[in-house]
C-alpha cells in the first residue's frame, strides 16, 4: 500500500472503532495517524527500508502504529481490521457515507433499530421511526432521507485522485508483460472527472493471454468477473471494476477515442461522420467497408475534419463550437502556475511551519505563496485572533527580507460569520496582502441567507477571493444552497476572484461553475488549501478541473508572475 491507501485504512479503523464504542483516545490516535501518513512528503516504504528517518521519528507514530504501517506497506493484513470488519456488517458501513451521519449515530441506528443497509434506513425514515431515537428528531430524519440518494451514488464512484493511484499502480504492474506495445487508461478517468465509476485500460499486444494473466495476478484484485480472448474484467478489493481490452494497433487510436467518451461527445462525432459518408466506431473510421483511419486519435479526428480534442473537453459542451470557429483553447497546465494562494501552517491546523511551506513551494518551482491560516471563529482548527495574526505577519516580513526571487504574502482565511460579516476587524484585514473569505458554519441556512453572506463578503474592500464557494465535499457533503449567478455578478462588480480549491475532496468550484465564472470575466484562483508540504501536490487536481472548464492561463490569476499578480491585485482592490 502507498501512503494514501494506508491513511484510508486508518480512517476506516477509526470509523469502525467509534462505531463499536471504543475509547475516544484510541479512535483519535488512528485518525491522527491517518492524517500524519497522508501528509508525509516521502513514501512510507522509504522510511521502512532507508537508513535515515524512521517511522517512530514522526510525531504521533509510536511502535504499535509503526508496526501496523509496516505491515500494510508490505502488503500484509491487520488482524485488528479483520476483527472490526467481522463485528460490523459491510452493508452498515454505507451508512457512514450519508452527509452528517457519523459513526456514533450510525451505531445507534444499527443497534436500536436493526438498520443494516441504506434500504433499511430509508424504510425506517419513511415510517418515522428514526425521529423517535434519542438525539435524532424530525429534522435529522429529514436530512438523512435527503442524503440517502447521495450516499448510494457515493458507493459506486471513487474520487479521481484515489482512482489515479489504482490506475497508475495497475499500469505499472501490467508493464511487466513485455509484450505490451501501447497502453492507455480511458473513460471518465482520462477525461479528469472528479469521480470515477470504473477504469478502462486499452492495450496493444500480440499476446493478449499474457497481459490478462498479468492483470489476474494484480495484488489488489479481489475477483475476475469475466475473461475472453481480448477482454477481461476484474473487481479490485476496494470495489472498483477494471476493464481491460486488447486491441490491434491499427484500431488503438479509434478505441482510445471511443472508450474515452463522453457518450455525448461520441454521439456528435457519429453524426459528423455520417454527414461525410463515413462510419466511426471503436475499430476505426470507415467509408463503407474501407478502413480510413484509427491508428491514432489525431488521425481519427482529422478524418472528420476536426482537431484533436484534449480529453478533459470531451463533454459535448462547447468543444465542437470552438473547433468549428478555429478557437479551441490552449488549456492551462500545471507548468503555468506561478503561485499558491491558500494554505495552512502549524499556527492553525497545518502540520508544517511557514519556512517549511516556503521551501516546499520553491521545490515545486513556485514564485510566491500566501499563508492563509484560519481566523479565530474556526476554534477546532486553532484559528488566529488579531494579535496572533499580526505576530505571524511580522514574522513573514522578516522572512521576506531573506528571500530572493520568492515572496510570501501575508494572508488569512477569514470566516464569513453565520449572522453575516467577517470574523476579523476591518483594520486587521486592511493590513493583509491577501484575504480569502470562506463559509464554514451555518451551511444549512436558507439559500437567500447564504447567498447574502457571500455577496456581502465580496463587497468588503479587503476580501480578495471567496474560498471553496459552494462548500461541497465530494461523496460526503452536497454543496450548500447558494445563488451562484448572484455570486458571479457580485464578484464581477467588485473586481474579486473566485477560488477553485484543488483539494481532491473539494474541487470547488466545479468545472461547470468555473466555465460560468469565465463567461462572467471573473479570474479563477487555483489554490491547494494545503495543510502540509505534501498537500501542495494537489495543484494538479485543480488544474485538471480548470481544463475541464476550458480555462486557459489567462483565465487563472495565479499563472501571472508576481509583478503581474501585484498589478491585478492593486487594480481590483482600488
CATH number of the CATH domain containing 101:
1.10.150.20
Asked if residue 210 and residue 63 are part of one domain, the reply reads: no
Please return the burial class of 425, using the count of CB atoms within 10 Å of its CB with bins 0-12, 13-18 and 19+: exposed
Query: What range does the domain containing 505 cover?
Result: 334-573
Kindly state whether residue 252 falls inside one of the protein's structural domains.
no
Q: Are 118 and 152 in contact (CB under 8 A)?
A: yes
Asked if residue 404 and residue 358 are part of one domain, the reply reads: yes
Phi, psi dihedrals of residue 407, rounded to the nearest 5°: -130, 135
**pLDDT above 90 as % of the chain:** 67
Q: Which of 55-59, 140-144, 523-527 has the highest mean pLDDT?
A: 523-527
> Other C-beta atoms within 10 Å of 8: how many?
18
pLDDT band at 574 (very low <50, low <70, confident <90, very high): low
Q: Are 373 and 550 in contact (CB under 8 A)?
A: no
Q: Are 332 and 547 in contact (CB under 8 A)?
A: yes
pLDDT averaged over every residue in the chain: 91
- Please state, in angstroms and rounded to a whole number, the distance separating the CA atoms of residues 297 and 269: 13
Picking from 101, 125, 156, the residue at the C-terminal end of a domain is 156
pLDDT at position 472:
94
Distance set, CA 305 to CA 275, 299, 314, 326 (Å)? 11, 10, 16, 11
**pLDDT above 70 as % of the chain:** 96
CATH of the domain at 167: 3.30.460.10
Asked if residue 355 and residue 477 are part of one domain, the reply reads: yes
pLDDT at position 49:
73
pLDDT at position 153:
58
Q: Are 148 and 118 in contact (CB under 8 A)?
A: yes
Kindly state whether residue 254 falls inside one of the protein's structural domains.
no
pLDDT at position 155:
57
- Please state, in angstroms and rounded to a whole number, the distance separating the CA atoms of residues 68 and 219: 19
Asked if residue 227 and residue 291 are part of one domain, the reply reads: no
Question: Per-residue pLDDT averaged across 461-475, rounded?
Answer: 95
Question: Per-residue pLDDT averaged across 192-206, rounded?
Answer: 96
Half-sphere exposure of 262 (CA within 13 A, CB side): 15
pLDDT at position 151:
62
Kindly state whether residue 531 falls inside one of the protein's structural domains.
yes
Question: Per-residue pLDDT averaged across 395-416, rounded?
Answer: 98
> Other C-beta atoms within 10 Å of 288: how many?
7
- Please state, in angstroms and rounded to a whole number, the distance separating the CA atoms of residues 299 and 270: 15
Residue 315 has pLDDT above 70, yes or no: yes
Picking from 156, 179, 200, the residue at the C-terminal end of a domain is 156
pLDDT at position 345:
96
Asked if residue 145 and residue 173 are part of one domain, the reply reads: no
Kindly state whether residue 497 falls inside one of the protein's structural domains.
yes
DSSP letters along 510-544, please? Answer: -HHHHHHHHHTTPPEEEE--BSSSGGGGGHHHHHH
For the stretch 137-153, pLDDT in tens is 888 888 888 777 666 65
Asked if residue 485 and residue 529 are part of one domain, the reply reads: yes
Picking from 294, 324, 354, the residue at the C-terminal end of a domain is 324
Kindly state whether residue 488 falls inside one of the protein's structural domains.
yes
pLDDT at position 118:
81
Asked if residue 30 and residue 123 are part of one domain, the reply reads: yes
Residue 242 has pLDDT above 90, yes or no: yes
Kindly state whether residue 257 falls inside one of the protein's structural domains.
no
CATH of the domain at 308: 3.30.210.10
- Please state, in angstroms and rounded to a whole number, the distance separating the CA atoms of residues 560 and 405: 14
| Helix residue spans in 114-206 (DSSP H) | 118-126, 137-156, 160-174, 187-191
* 231 strand-pairing partners: 245
Q: Which of 20-24, 28-32, 232-236, 469-473 has the highest mean pLDDT?
A: 469-473
Phi, psi dihedrals of residue 373, rounded to the nearest 5°: -65, 160
Sequence-ordered list of residues with C-beta below 8 angstroms from that of 310, at least 6 positions apart, any chain = 331, 547
Residue 89 has pLDDT above 80, yes or no: no
Asked if residue 407 and residue 269 are part of one domain, the reply reads: no
| Lowest mean pLDDT, pick from 112-126, 287-301, 363-377 | 112-126
Sequence-ordered list of residues with C-beta below 8 angstroms from that of 9, at least 6 positions apart, any chain = 1, 34, 72, 78, 81
pLDDT band at 439 (very low <50, low <70, confident <90, very high): very high
Asked if residue 455 and residue 559 are part of one domain, the reply reads: yes
Asked if residue 241 and residue 287 are part of one domain, the reply reads: no
Distance set, CA 390 to CA 434, 528, 556 (Å)? 14, 24, 29
Distance set, CA 179 to CA 170, 172, 209, 351 (Å)? 16, 14, 10, 45
Asked if residue 143 and residue 165 are part of one domain, the reply reads: no
- How many independent structural domains does the chain possess? 4
pLDDT band at 73 (very low <50, low <70, confident <90, very high): confident
How many whole angstroms from its chain centre is CA 134?
Answer: 35
Instruction: Locate 541 and state its grid cell.
Output: 487536481
pTM check: above 0.85:
no
Closest to 330 (Cα-Cα) out of 546, 564, 565 = 546
Residue 90 has pLDDT above 80, yes or no: no
- Please state, in angstroms and rounded to a whole number, the distance separating the CA atoms of residues 40 and 390: 29
Kindly state whether residue 74 falls inside one of the protein's structural domains.
yes
Instruction: Give SS3 for 284.
Output: strand
Residue 50 has pLDDT above 70, yes or no: no
Question: Per-residue pLDDT averaged across 383-396, rounded?
Answer: 97
Residue 41 has pLDDT above 70, yes or no: no
Q: Which residue has the higher pLDDT, 43 or 127?
A: 127
- Please state, in angstroms and rounded to a whole number, the distance separating the CA atoms of residues 53 and 50: 7
Question: Per-residue pLDDT averaged across 78-99, rounded?
Answer: 79
pLDDT band at 314 (very low <50, low <70, confident <90, very high): very high
DSSP letters along 423-476, please? Answer: SS-HHHHTT-SEEEEE--S-TTS-HHHHHHHHHHHHHSTT--EESSTT--BTTT
- Identify the sign of the CA torsion 60, 66, 72, 75: positive
CATH of the domain at 507: 3.20.20.140
- Please state, in angstroms and rounded to a whole number, the distance separating the CA atoms of residues 404 and 155: 48
Instruction: Give SS3 for 231.
Output: strand
pLDDT band at 36 (very low <50, low <70, confident <90, very high): confident
Residue 43 has pLDDT above 90, yes or no: no
Sequence-ordered list of residues with C-beta below 8 angstroms from that of 65, at least 6 positions apart, any chain = 29, 33, 55
Kindly state whether residue 345 falls inside one of the protein's structural domains.
yes
Asked if residue 552 and residue 432 are part of one domain, the reply reads: yes
- Please state, in angstroms and rounded to a whole number, the distance separating the CA atoms of residues 296 and 289: 19
Instruction: Give SS3 for 411.
Output: strand
pLDDT at position 91:
65
Amino acid at each position: 500500500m502507498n501512503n494514501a491507501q494506508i491513511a484510508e485504512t486508518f480512517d476506516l479503523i477509526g470509523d469502525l472503532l467509534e462505531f463499536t464504542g471504543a475509547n475516544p483516545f484510541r479512535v483519535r490516535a488512528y485518525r491522527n495517524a491517518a492524517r500524519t501518513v497522508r501528509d508525509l512528503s516521502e513514501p512510507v516504504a522509504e522510511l521502512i527500508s532507508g537508513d535515515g528517518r524512521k517511522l517512530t521519528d514522526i510525531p504521533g507514530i509510536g511502535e504499535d502504529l509503526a508496526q501496523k504501517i509496516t505491515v500494510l506497506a508490505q502488503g500484509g493484513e491487520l488482524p485488528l481490521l479483520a476483527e472490526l470488519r467481522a463485528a460490523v456488517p459491510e452493508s452498515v458501513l454505507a451508512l457512514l457515507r450519508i452527509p452528517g451521519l457519523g459513526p456514533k449515530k450510525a451505531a445507534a441506528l444499527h443497534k436500536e433499530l436493526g438498520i443494516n443497509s441504506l434500504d433499511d434506513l430509508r424504510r425506517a425514515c419513511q415510517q418515522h421511526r428514526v425521529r423517535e431515537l434519542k438525539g435524532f428528531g424530525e429534522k435529522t430524519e429529514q436530512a438523512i432521507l435527503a442524503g440517502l440518494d447521495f450516499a448510494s451514488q457515493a458507493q459506486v464512484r471513487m474520487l479521481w485522485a484515489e482512482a489515479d493511484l489504482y490506475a497508475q499502480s495497475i499500469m505499472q504492474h501490467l508493464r511487466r508483460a513485455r509484450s505490451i506495445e501501447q497502453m492507455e487508461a480511458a473513460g471518465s478517468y482520462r477525461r479528469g472527472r472528479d469521480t470515477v465509476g470504473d477504469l478502462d485500460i486499452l492495450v496493444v499486444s500480440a499476446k493478449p493471454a499474457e497481459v490478462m494473466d498479468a492483470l489476474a495476478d494484480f495484488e489488489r484484485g479481489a475477483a475476475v468477473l469475466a475473461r475472453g480472448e481480448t477482454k477481461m474484467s476484474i473487481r479490485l478489493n476496494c470495489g472498483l471494476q477494471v476493464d481491460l481490452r486488447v486491441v490491434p494497433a491499427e484500431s488503438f487510436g479509434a478505441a482510445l477515442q471511443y472508450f474515452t467518451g463522453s457518450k455525448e461527445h461520441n454521439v456528435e462525432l457519429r453524426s459528423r461522420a455520417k454527414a461525410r459518408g463515413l462510419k466511426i466506431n471503436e475499430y476505426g473510421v470507415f467509408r463503407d467497408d474501407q478502413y480510413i483511419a484509427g491508428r491514432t486519435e489525431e488521425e481519427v479526428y482529422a478524418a472528420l475534419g476536426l482537431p484533436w480534442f484534449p480529453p478533459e473537453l470531451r463533454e459535448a459542451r462547447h468543444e465542437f463550437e470552438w473547433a468549428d470557429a478555429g478557437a479551441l483553447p490552449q488549456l492551462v497546465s500545471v507548468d503555468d502556475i506561478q503561485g499558491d494562494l491558500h494554505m495552512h501552517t502549524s499556527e492553525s491546523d497545518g502540520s508544517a511551519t511557514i519556512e517549511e511551506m516556503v521551501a516546499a513551494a520553491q521545490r515545486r518551482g513556485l514564485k510566491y505563496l500566501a499563508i492563509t491560516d484560519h481566523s479565530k471563529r474556526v476554534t477546532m482548527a486553532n484559528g488566529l485572533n488579531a494579535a496572533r495574526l499580526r505576530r505571524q505577519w511580522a514574522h513573514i516580513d522578516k522572512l521576506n527580507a531573506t528571500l530572493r526571487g520568492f515572496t510570501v504574502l501575508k494572508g488569512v482565511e477569514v470566516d464569513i460569520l453565520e449572522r453575516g460579516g467577517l470574523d476579523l476587524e476591518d483594520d486587521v484585514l486592511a493590513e493583509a496582502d491577501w484575504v480569502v473569505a470562506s463559509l464554514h458554519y451555518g451551511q444549512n441556512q436558507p439559500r437567500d441567507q447564504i447567498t447574502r453572506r457571500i455577496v456581502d463578503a465580496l463587497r468588503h474592500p479587503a476580501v480578495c477571493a471567496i474560498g471553496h464557494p459552494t462548500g461541497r465535499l465530494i461523496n460526503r457533503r452536497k454543496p450548500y444552497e447558494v445563488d451562484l449567478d448572484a455570486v458571479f455578478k457580485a464578484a464581477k462588480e467588485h473586481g474579486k476572484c473566485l477560488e477553485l480549491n484543488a483539494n481532491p475532496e473539494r474541487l470547488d468550484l466545479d468545472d461547470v461553475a468555473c466555465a460560468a465564472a469565465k463567461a462572467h470575466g471573473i479570474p479563477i484562483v487555483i489554490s491547494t488549501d494545503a495543510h502540509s508540504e505534501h498537500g501542495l501536490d494537489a495543484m494538479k487536481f485543480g488544474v485538471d478541473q480548470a481544463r475541464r472548464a476550458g480555462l486557459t492561463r489567462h483565465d487563472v490569476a495565479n499563472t501571472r508572475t508576481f509583478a503581474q499578480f501585484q498589478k491585478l491585485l492593486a487594480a481590483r482592490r482600488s
